[in-house]
Structure 1
Amino acid sequence: MAVEMLKPSPRGRWEKAAISSQVWLLFVALFVSDVLREALGWWGSTALTVVIMGLGSFLLVRKSAPERQERLARDAERGVIECALRYADSHPGSLRGRWLPGFAEIGSGTFKFQPDYIDKGEPEGKITVFSDVEGQGQIEPPPKRPAELKKSWGIVALGTDRGQLHFATGELGLKLINERF
């Protein structure tokens, strides 16, 4: 029998634009600086490229932040959170010891985890069900934060039927975990 999992809310228009801006914003900035290269010179057009990219990124992130917070709050109400996990008792350097980003559906005493390998906002891959979950308190983040962990995320140690896990998520996810476990 296949395990069904709730889907996270889709990303909004500004959130999608901010994610894809890494590609199209560079081309816009280069095009504008190329058009004005004759008037500004090489250094001026290079500075213009940097300014356009920085300002464009800043504006897109500012517009997408409220949209993202709304989406995460809506998902947390349904019990679905964006997170990353790793097995605490794994060998150093092994794949199980790396942080695996994805989404979790938190239930009472159990949670389902589905990875999001390429950060497209929709989980893909095999759903793993963890049962007999008990919270073991918050732990300190590693000194060098891995790329899979977002800046504002906290880390919680959880005991499960599949061994001890380190579970990283945002403020809403930590609150949900404390309530359910």
Structure 2
Amino acid sequence: MTNIDIEHLKFPIGKFSVPETITSTQIQESIEYLRDFPSYLADSVNNMSEKQLDTPYRPGGWTLKQVIHHIADSHMNAFSRFKLALTEDNPAIKPYDESAWANLADASLGIESSMAIIKAVHFKWVALLESMTDDDFQKTYFHPEKKRSQTLAEVTLMYTWHSKHHLAHVHLPSLTEGKI
């Protein structure tokens, strides 16, 4: 497998890039996607076998089960970061080692608990997003690893990308056809 193939498996929808200008239409579309994402994910994994869930989406990559648990972990952190940014002035957020989290004991559990977390977090997150004003979306948090502040508008789009990114992993032919 070539580096191009691996890169496509890592980033099947491409890497996230921040638009120069973020419009209210983009924000609204993101909120709608984040509202529907738990259903999209559930529809995609509900009929998968344990073998498929325990299959890496690419050579050397996480299993689908780990991806689902990662989404729950990541989106819980994102929701907390939104609340921090809305209630504090440019707070520094705490990064975490996603790969280390993906190898903790809970990453080997069935996906039901993380699917429930994703559904609940997105329910609360969308309620928060829908209550936010244009000024709220300009509030920021500081990301120490990126060494810059990020607006909540940017982060909203980034987590829409993140949701689509991992949903694309679920739909890779290698997983659905058991070729890896």
TM-score category, normalised to shorter length: under 0.3
TM-score, normalised via structure 1 length: 0.25
Richer in helix (by share): 2
TM-score, normalised via structure 2 length: 0.25
Richer in strand (by share): 1
Pair member with larger Rg: 1
Structure number with greater CO (CA < 8 Å, separation at least 6) is: 2
